[in-house]
Chains A and B, each alone.
Chain A
Amino acid sequence: MSDAEDVITRAHHEEWARVVAALTRRFGDLDIAEEAAAEAFATAVERWPADGVPPNPGAWLTTTANRKAIDRIRRENKRDDKHKEAQMVYDNDPPEPVGAVDDDRLRLIFTCCHPALAMEARLALTLRMVGGLTVPEIARAFLVAETAMERRITRAKAKIKAARIPYRVPAVEDLPARVSGVLAVLYLVFNEGYLATGPATDPLRHGLTAEAIRLTRLIRALMPGDGEVAGLLALMLLTEARRTARISAGGELVALDEQDRGAWDTGLIAEGHRLVRERLAAAAAGAAPGRYQILAAINAVHTSARDIRDTDWSQVLALYDQLVRLDPSPIIALNRAIAVAELDGPRVALAAVDRLEDKLAGYHAYHATRADLLRRQGHSQQSRAAYDKAIELAGNTAETAYLTRRRDQLR
């Protein structure tokens, strides 16, 4: 009994996107594909525990979903002509330029992450169509009412159909921009799990980080040659490795310098380091690394230090310098200043941070960083004011707890 349930759970993880993608290609309609896939899985839940698991669960699910889709189209045969008319545009050429595999799942991912869709629609659609999460699950993850989430997904599907967003892997010349659009969606999902923005949820939501990693692994398998895909996966793994050490028993965020490094997940770190080494070799051969690869490398430096005092800060700073050239955003400059503080002291770092005031005055991490740098110079009064401001702006409960303790330790 529970064997069949395990197989179904696994099949859902492994086969959902494949079934939806294949059906979308065959029937040219995301709605039909989604509904038929859901029905096929529901049938499996009903039958497999009693009848036994079929020898090839994936093939069984695809066949069953195909039959459900055909049933639905027949049932609505009145709509048939209209349906043919509204079919999505797809190409029949295998998407060879990106990788070794011709996989419909790539088409599905690029369609769900299409730049003509609003970012929140892309997130929802990707989690539903590629990730196989249910609408209530996605609604809970983003603190949106179920009906609103349902509407968001329905509207996105309607736009794909009405505006003819194609079901295809982009042309080689458009690929880097489109891949970075896909990665941005996955990184947002991951970050929401890594440090939830709202005060009304758990501060860390493992479900979301795990889902983001699973989907990034899938894209990595589909596009093994893409450096930024490898970089993002490494970045997620090296961040996730520290998950349990990031929250204290009392529910307070634990900063990097106070974490119990023995609690880090060595398996994830080893996997992340392997990916970073792979990209370093590519960079040595002349491939210019993108921002995810550089961020992953920074995390690799941190996770290589068994003690905070062993951290190679000059390496961290060199990587931030590289990143600033690629992405001159004030948030990167803020993080760079933290490395500067370790090398040149808090006074030099504070001067660099203060220059960012115009752009970051509304960002809690700006004030938290200032507070810490002021504290380290013994300016308790000013530090307290900066902590107050950071606490006022921070949304995450674990972070607020951490900042409050730090403030109250000042004398």
Chain B
Amino acid sequence: MRYLVSVIDDKSNPGSTDRRPAISAFNERLIAEGYWVFSGGLADTDAATVIDNRGEQAVFSDGPFVESKEYLAGVWVWEAPDLDVALKLAAEASKVCDRKVEVRPFR
């Protein structure tokens, strides 16, 4: 089962910025144990562009999360046998990156 693990940061109360080494070490463990599929940190929400091409022509705008307090700061994709395994890893992940994480299964 694949799970998307979203890292949620809070603009008014951001997590610490010195987590990179800890996250790398955690990723290496995820890879060694066979859970890791993908991971990546995201640039600020200011850098996002939304494209809506459902109408006559493509319209570009800033991302919807520019104004919001909470936003997506990074993602993991994990392969895990069930939610209990994913939640256990997610509990560690939240500590490691000092932020909230959301676990959501792929369809």
Using a CB–CB cutoff of 8 Å, the interface residues on chain A facing chain B are 89, 114-116, 162-166, 168, 170, 174
Contact = CB atoms under 8 A, between A and B. Distances in A.
B107 A89 contact: no
26 contacts: A89-B81, A89-B82, A114-B83, A115-B87, A116-B83, A116-B87, A162-B105, A162-B107, A163-B83, A163-B103, A163-B104, A163-B105, A164-B1, A164-B81, A164-B82, A164-B83, A164-B105, A165-B82, A165-B83, A165-B84, A166-B82, A166-B83, A166-B84, A168-B84, A170-B84, A174-B84
Q: Which of B82, B87, B104, B107 has the most CB of A within 10 A?
A: B82
Nearest to B104: A163
Nearest to B103: A163
Contacts of B104: 163
Interface string B93-107: 000000000011101
A196 B103 CA distance: 35
Contacts of A89: 81-82
Interface size class of B (residues with CB under 8 A): 10 to 19
B96 to A, nearest CB: 20
A162 B103 CA distance: 12
Q: Which of B84, B87, B103, B104 has the most CB of A within 10 A?
A: B84
B33 to A, nearest CB: 16
A144 B103 CA distance: 29
A121 to B, nearest CB: 14
B100 to A, nearest CB: 15
**7 A-B pairs closest in CB distance:** A166-B82, A89-B82, A164-B82, A163-B105, A163-B83, A164-B1, A165-B83
A16 B82 CA distance: 27
Contacts of A165: 82-84
Contacts of A116: 83, 87
A89 B107 CA distance: 16
A132 to B, nearest CB: 26
Nearest to A115: B87
A115 B81 CA distance: 18
A170 B83 CA distance: 12
Contacts of A114: 83
A164 B83 CA distance: 5
B82 to A, nearest CB: 4
A135 to B, nearest CB: 25
